[in-house]
Amino acid sequence: MAKLNSSLKRDITHVSYPSNRKRNDYWAGYMPFKITEKPIDYKDKYVGEKEDIIFLNNSYIVSKDPQHIFPLIFGGITLFIALYFLSILYFSDIWSISNTIILIICTSSVIFFTIYYFTMPLKQVIFDRYNSLITFPGFLWNRPITMKFESIRMLHAGGAFGSPTADMLYVKRPDRIIGSKYMLHVGGNLDTNLSFIVWYMDKNRPLPNGDAFDDYRKK
């Protein structure tokens, strides 16, 4: 298991959301704070620097974000499109204003994602069981957000209707950016993810099953 060199305690940054919660939780996609499935048994071999969970004990769980994937994917896509239109410009006599606009947008996007790749802040999620707090990354370069666990809004989101993409668990950011949310993933599907988090964050419950917690269960 990875050893952290800094304190995991964070100060609360937000106490609520700027907008009222929608009346219909189902249509809003909000998830109830309920244990609907047996939480996964967390194995010690799945905790470490190269895993989704880099640290856990009886007070904290720290999960990392594969933060470089986002700029690599979107930067790569826009780079490919930009090169395609550059090839049209070089080999063809036909060129339009719309092609120029697309090329400018793609080139700007490549520059943006390149800068973001090398300057993005550390992105990780901290579940503070003892103080009932959760810390999760802000949007792009924004600072991390820390809220009371019971104050956050968790929701499910995924592919369009009929899509093979499974719904995943997200936490809504308390900002005014439409659709700004962050995926919470500690292993398993939507329901096991939610059940594990709700179970762990309830300090009145015993620690979840799994040998990763065995040393702390004895304390």
Q: What is the pLDDT of residue 198?
A: 95
180 belongs to a structural domain = yes
- Helix 69-91 and helix 97-119: axis angle, to 10°? 150
Per-residue model confidence (pLDDT) at position 52: 80
The three-state secondary structure class of 179 is coil
95 in the same domain as 191? no
Q: What is the chain's alpha carbon radius of gyration, rounded to the nearest angstrom? A: 21
- Residues 66-89 pLDDT 10s: 778 889 999 999 999 999 988 888
Asked whether residue 49 falls in the same domain as residue 132, the answer is: yes
In this structure, are 49 and 80 located in the same domain? no
Query: Do the domain assignments include residue 108?
Result: yes
* 113 and 207 both lie in a single domain: no
- pLDDT (0 to 100) of residue 48: 83
59 and 132 co-located in one domain: yes
pLDDT at 206: 92
Rounded distance between C-alpha atoms, residue 214 and residue 207, angstroms: 9
Q: Which domain holds residue 46?
A: 25-65+125-217
Residue 25: CB atoms within 10 A of its CB come to: 13
Residues of the chain with pLDDT under 70: 1-6, 21-28, 159-166, 176-179, 218-219
- 131 and 114 housed in the same domain: no
Tell me how many domains the chain contains: 2
**Within a domain: 82:** yes
| pLDDT score for 24 | 53
